[in-house]
A and B are shown apart, each in its own frame.
Chain A
């Protein structure tokens, strides 16, 4: 409204380290998210140190043991230690979730910025393909893709990456449309700089924040989807320790041996929640629109 107020805002606006810390410091939920994820990642990386059990070794004599000092989370139907399966499985569940989102975000940014920057036929073609993907419910399409590719953990991850692409394409495209009108992009065009260079130097770095926010929020979702596919038998195959697959087999024994599906379920729930908390926090920090 007035020049004065703008100047004062400018004093506060620049995103340097300080305001980020300022906001992060006061955001308890984000910290909780960070701590949970940190603990889960750390324990799964340190799994060989923390447990002495082989997650795939069958020891039928000790099947369906309840939680005890020996097996903290009990054992499963063939006597494998559930805690060690959860810890080793965390590597897969988290790793594959993160990887799926990294792949989909990368492809999404490339397609979205190309689509937005060049417009015309290229835009039309890319966006219509995205519409086709969006026409199906995400999970059902992912199931179909995973089934078509053949049930395995890698294919489940790939299927999830594919069905999530449209979100990122749209996000990157709409950011690009805004940035294309900015004078620094127009200036670069007048200098005669190659469009690919303009996209890499100006468009991608400046459209990254919303993509990062979306990606963090989506990791939790991707972990759930991998588990879901695993649960349906379309993901990790036995004896691979994966949370979804463990719940899938374990839920049949829920009434008699409650610990079997419960502990992987808790881990699944916690990590998915934690990523959402982090995503919310990052949005508060990076997204100027949510600033109060």
Chain B
């Protein structure tokens, strides 16, 4: 459904050039939930923004259903509303001066008038609001009258109004309380089943990824260092960074878990070194050359020399 091929995004700040995303390949099948996990600055959000049209890729190709999304730095929408995004912060993702009704119907403004009429019917709006757990009489209220969880429901209803097939969920529950997070995660899971949606789920929270995703891509400094089915990655992580990530998850009941630590920066360095070279506890001389991807098991690949 989505094909990301050798995509690179370079940010320039003065004389400095930073690769936020480098030479990334990723394909997403219809009906799948693919997780993107990594620390802040790993490029996971930038990748999501290139899919939704907010950032222009510097290089490479992104195709949706075989048709390129970016042509000559211009974002092409095959059909507006097919790809929708839900952002992290429900505080700022809703216009404070608009009523809930207008907020939810807003994406329809990008459609042609026939479709707009059809999808903007009152019954459909009420059905959708109820589906995401809002009440009909919430329609004429303003965002500040709602709690964080309810606002995220409004954002989800807004994304669904155009009947999208693909949704980019950019940390959709990170700003929510635990009890509300569970409601929203379950809602997203149900909606996916009902409407046969495809998700890309961006998060820094490994347990949420584990709960939501079929496959997960672990990103570090703009590169996917490991990708595979969630089960395989969680039980049999190959890349040292993934291992550190998993070992640092606080678990509720195990007393002590062996924690793997980052290493301190080495004296030696090279332009072409592995992205994790600076902090890798296992690094060797060979790591000064960038590693290729190698398979661990079916669909599970990682990028490391050692193993």
Contact = CB atoms under 8 A, between A and B. Distances in A.
Interface of A: 10, 13-14, 182-184, 186-194, 197, 201-202, 205-206
Contacts of B80: 191-192
B46 interface: no
Contacts of B98: 201
Given A14-B145, A190-B54, A191-B80, A184 B94 contact: yes
B97 interface: yes
- Which interface residue of B54, B84, B97 has the most chain A CB atoms within 10 A? B97
Contacts of B109: 191, 193-194, 197
Grouping DSSP codes into helix (H, G, I), strand (E, B) and loop, the A interface class, with mixed when no group exceeds half, is helix
Contact of B107 (A183, A191, A206): A191
B53 A189 contact: yes
Grouping DSSP codes into helix (H, G, I), strand (E, B) and loop, the B interface class, with mixed when no group exceeds half, is loop
Interface stretch (B85-93, B185-193, B246-254, B293-301): B85-93
B163 interface: no
A186 B88 CA distance: 12
A34 B167 CA distance: 52
- Which interface residue of B77, B89, B109, B158 has the most chain A CB atoms within 10 A? B109
Interface in B95-136: 95-98, 106-107, 109-110
A37 to B, nearest CB: 27
A188 B53 CA distance: 11
A189 B80 CA distance: 11
B144 interface: yes
B144 A13 contact: yes
Interface string B60-78: 0000000000000000010
B183 interface: no
B100 to A, nearest CB: 13
A191 B95 CA distance: 14
Nearest to B170: A183
B87 A183 contact: yes
Contacts of A188: 106
Contact of A10 (B89, B106, B144): B144
A206 B142 CA distance: 14
Given A183-B93, A187-B93, 5 more contacts: A14-B144, A186-B93, A187-B158, A191-B109, A201-B95
